Structure 1
Amino acid sequence: MKKSKRPSTLFNLAALAAACLASGGALADPVKIGVIETLSGPQAASGLTYRAAARYAVERMNAEGGWNGQPVQLLEYDNQGGPGGAADKLKAAVADGVHIVVQGASSAVGGQITEDVRKHNLRNPGKEIIYVNVGAEALELTGEKCHFHHFRFSGNAQVRTKALVLAMKQANALGSRVYSINQNYSWGQDMEQAIVDNAQLGGYQVVEKTLHDVNKIQDFAPYVAKIGAAKADTVMTGNWSNDLLLLMKATKAAGLKARFGTIFLDQPGNIGNAGDLAIGHFVAHTFNPEAGGAEGERFVNDYKAKTGHLPVATEPQTVFGMAMVADALKRVKPEGGKLNVNQLAKAMESSRVKTPNGEMTMRAADHQALLPIVVSTVAKDAKYKADDTDMGFKPVKLFSAAEAATPAQASCKMQRPS
């Protein structure tokens, strides 16, 4: 089937606009949000979760009144999994009048988008756009590459690894020999460094470090053999999408007994691929409904009613990040019938929302969200099951945003418009 070159628009505003004009209501230009995600190819499993969450979040924005009495428009662009595709789709989004771009799958793609947004805004004063980063966690994005129009609503390697190490140590599940395996690009390199940096905190030795190509390894059996030969107690990895799915598959095939400490084990398919060998593995993630009690249950039930599935992996952080955008939009009034994007960015610097796991705020110094982190372990008595198995993620420790936070990087030199 031939694909359209134009994005799909989820909300048709024509009838509403005509009705409002007929009744004499003054309309400002609608706010447009563009999701630029990996919606096809081997990494699509990650991109599609971000899209599902963005759809839910925008639907909720509109149920609460949209902006200036109009529904917010959501447009979707398939970046096809690479920085080049993302650059092209950003140009398309700009041409379509998008005010906010949303992306999360891959720090390599995020690095491309944030730099293109920065350059566009410098060249086009008065026509700025904001990059809402809901999952690209490379440290450089809130470090040397930070800028006023980039906001990250997820964690980063230092935040997640610190929580993971503390919780696993407290649970006597860390051991003294840790193997580090990560993807060889900015995010994976950050994870490797974080694993080394937290060795003293965790009381372990990093027995070996491996960086591998991203999305190119079809058989992880040789890597699993190396892990076994190193006699590692724990394997720590920031791998995601296909690289984690195939790693889990290889551990099952080899019967590897080492415990895993992960960042993205809650991505759909990982538990199914690992089978019962996943029991006792850990994940440091941004949400666990069981840790959220009644509020967590209400959220996941509403999400399932609207989308057809429980929120998984990066979907909750995307919803909560978009809720912070909605909070800021409520505090920004139209100027000349248009959204002033710089005023929205200033409002976003003070956004805060209450999530079922605790309060989430934005740190103005580097535009890194401060958010709760939950460390969970795979268990059969978890309340919510994963991958149609009898296993799920049972909370081990909930860290508040303040407890999970690490300091802003000195390399971020935030410059704001005058």
Structure 2
Amino acid sequence: MAFRNFLRSTAAVALVCSAGASFAEPLKIALVETLSGPQASTGLFYRNGVIYGIGKINAEGGFGGEPVELLEYDNQGGPVGAADRVRAAISDGANIIIQGSSSAVAGQITEDVRKYNLRNRGNEVVYINVGGAAMELTGAKCHDYHFRMTPNAEIIVNALLEGMKEDGALGENVYAINQNYSWGVDVQNSTLAAADSLGFEVVEQTLHEVNKIQDFSPYVARIKESGADTVITGNWSNDLLLLMKAAGGAGLDVRFGTAFLDQPGNIGNAGAIADGHFVATSFNPEVNPEKSTAFVEDYKSVIGHYPTYVEPQGIFGMMLLKEALKSVEPTEDGLAADDLVAALEQATVETPMGTMTMRADDHQGRLPMVVQKVSRDAVYKADESEFGFVPVKVLSAEEAEQPVQDSCKM
């Protein structure tokens, strides 16, 4: 009810779920996200964060005094679907494309936007990436009109490993299991790169198909046989849910270090075996509670639950976009993409976690990180269980930042 009332009260947010309609509003934002299929368990959470963020933009006057319109397109979890939906969104007049779930999809979208902009000088669109964390997106595939609002693989893995090391939980023998595409390979490589400096050995590495495995029991058996005391994984969506389910069913006695353990269902699937597992993200409500409490309560009043999983990074990205739009004046044709690019490069916003900015050199967002551990002591519980996530290490944006990649040529 609260969610429906919020949309009514910010009637400026119009949800268009097909490519058949076109309106002449000054600013249209297209969400090209996975809204059906196995990966929808992630895509729908990004959708929540974007809807909340656009509601805040419209509550403060929209863009140029007119409401921002949100159009939704289901990319069905794949690059081909994403390419079709990006074309439809641009045809419908979208000025900004937003997407988060899957670096493979992000790679397709950023290339489609780059090519479109080369062909349409003066009528460019901007891609706001709220979740695709593969290194190449701000590396070899970087360009002026792509902005990553989420930490990349190197930022996440380094924060995670450092936090686990400081907590005395990293161990000496690490098993790396990841999805076999750009993001998973980056997590594996970042884990390997940190082994010497943090004093552990990667005893085995596994790359597996993405969202096609229904039973992870054979992989859990291999982890047991390897003698690992820690598992580092970048798995997400069904691949993490099913991995945790298999680990819980087998009573696997290892620590997990993850990027997405806070995905709803993971703690419920793993049960008590999840106690002591780790995740590195951009938000924990127990950090800066004087600010975080107001934020999570407001979000719950709108969406119906406390912000979780990938929602905060979507929200924070929209906060930076909102701040940038304040310094952009509409033209006769609406939004000038180059004006927004310049504004985003200069924007600064205070999130509940701290200061967030955008690095102009590669358009990698600079934001704080928090390493957290599953514990019964958590204030906010997960999956209606007795467990939640307690912060063990907080890194400022400056501390979490990793160098610009040599392959990025803006």
TM-score, normalized by the shorter chain, greater than 0.5 = yes
Supply the RMSD in Å over aligned alpha carbons.
1.6
1:273 maps to 2:266: no
Contact 2:10 2:55 in 1 (8 A): no
Identity percentage of aligned residues: 59
Q: 1:403 and 1:193 mapped to 2: Cα distance?
A: 21
2:135 alignment partner in structure 1: 139
Secondary structure of 2:287's counterpart equals helix
2:86 alignment partner in structure 1: 90
1:250 maps to 2:246: yes
Contact 2:12 2:68 in 1 (8 A): no
Contact 1:11 1:73 in 2 (8 A): no
Superposition TM-score, scaled by structure 1 size: 0.92
2:213 alignment partner in structure 1: 217
Q: 2:364 and 2:62 mapped to 1: Cα distance?
A: 25
Contact 1:175 1:234 in 2 (8 A): yes
> Among residues 327, 333, 348, which one is paired with 2:323 in the alignment?
327
Q: Compute the displacement of 1:336 (Å).
A: 2.1
Q: 2:8 and 2:330 mapped to 1: Cα distance?
A: 21
1:102 maps to 2:122: no
> Among residues 33, 40, 51, which one is paired with 1:37 in the alignment?
33
Secondary structure of 1:366's counterpart equals coil
Secondary structure of 2:315's counterpart equals helix
> Among residues 162, 165, 172, which one is paired with 2:161 in the alignment?
165
Q: 1:77 and 1:246 mapped to 2: Cα distance?
A: 27
CA separation of 1:168 and 1:14: change in aligned 2, threshold 3 A: closer
> Among residues 233, 237, 240, which one is paired with 1:241 in the alignment?
237
Secondary structure of 1:190's counterpart equals helix
Q: 1:405 and 1:191 mapped to 2: Cα distance?
A: 16
1:3 alignment partner in structure 2: none
Q: 1:297 and 1:139 mapped to 2: Cα distance?
A: 33
Q: Compute the displacement of 1:292 (Å).
A: 2.5
1:182-331 map, 5 Å: 182-331=178-327
1:397 maps to 2:397: no
Q: Compute the displacement of 1:12 (Å).
A: 11
| CA offsets 1:63-105 (integer angstroms, 9 cap, x no match) | 1111111111111100011001000100110111000010000
Q: Compute the displacement of 1:337 (Å).
A: 4.8
Secondary structure of 1:92's counterpart equals helix
1:385 alignment partner in structure 2: 381
Q: Compute the displacement of 1:335 (Å).
A: 1.9
1:21 alignment partner in structure 2: none
Q: Compute the displacement of 1:295 (Å).
A: 0.4
Contact 1:38 1:105 in 2 (8 A): yes
Secondary structure of 1:290's counterpart equals coil
Q: Compute the displacement of 1:342 (Å).
A: 1.1
Contact 1:263 1:285 in 2 (8 A): yes
Q: Compute the displacement of 1:356 (Å).
A: 1.1
The aligned amino acid for 1:170 is E
Q: 1:172 and 1:12 mapped to 2: Cα distance?
A: 49
Contact 1:106 1:136 in 2 (8 A): yes
1:408 alignment partner in structure 2: 404
The aligned amino acid for 1:106 is S
The runs of at least 4 aligned residues of structure 1 exceeding 3 Å deviation read: 10-16
Secondary structure of 1:349's counterpart equals helix
Q: 1:249 and 1:407 mapped to 2: Cα distance?
A: 36
Q: 1:11 and 1:107 mapped to 2: Cα distance?
A: 33
1:120 maps to 2:120: no
2:363 alignment partner in structure 1: 367
Contact 2:25 2:68 in 1 (8 A): no
CA separation of 1:119 and 1:337: change in aligned 2, threshold 3 A: closer
Q: 2:77 and 2:384 mapped to 1: Cα distance?
A: 27
Contact 2:377 2:387 in 1 (8 A): yes
> Among residues 167, 171, 174, which one is paired with 2:170 in the alignment?
174
CA separation of 1:234 and 1:13: change in aligned 2, threshold 3 A: closer
CA separation of 1:192 and 1:14: change in aligned 2, threshold 3 A: closer
1:155 alignment partner in structure 2: 151
1:25 alignment partner in structure 2: none
Contact 1:103 1:135 in 2 (8 A): yes
Secondary structure of 2:159's counterpart equals helix
| CA offsets 1:128-186 (integer angstroms, 9 cap, x no match) | 11000000000000000000000000011111111111111111101100000000000
The aligned amino acid for 1:287 is F
Contact 2:26 2:333 in 1 (8 A): no
Q: 1:283 and 1:364 mapped to 2: Cα distance?
A: 28
- Show structure 2 runs of 5+ residues with no match: 1-6, 14-23
Secondary structure of 1:55's counterpart equals helix
Q: Which moved more, 1:184-193 or 1:195-204?
A: 195-204
Q: 1:162 and 1:320 mapped to 2: Cα distance?
A: 21
Q: Compute the displacement of 1:338 (Å).
A: 1.8
Secondary structure of 2:288's counterpart equals helix
Q: 2:347 and 2:284 mapped to 1: Cα distance?
A: 22
Q: 2:156 and 2:399 mapped to 1: Cα distance?
A: 11
Task: Tell me how many residue pairs correspond in the alignment.
Answer: 394
Q: 2:157 and 2:399 mapped to 1: Cα distance?
A: 13
Q: 2:170 and 2:144 mapped to 1: Cα distance?
A: 39
Q: Which moved more, 1:146-155 or 1:284-293?
A: 284-293
| CA offsets 1:303-352 (integer angstroms, 9 cap, x no match) | 00000011111111111111111111110112225211111111111111
Q: 1:229 and 1:191 mapped to 2: Cα distance?
A: 22
Superposition TM-score, scaled by structure 2 size: 0.94
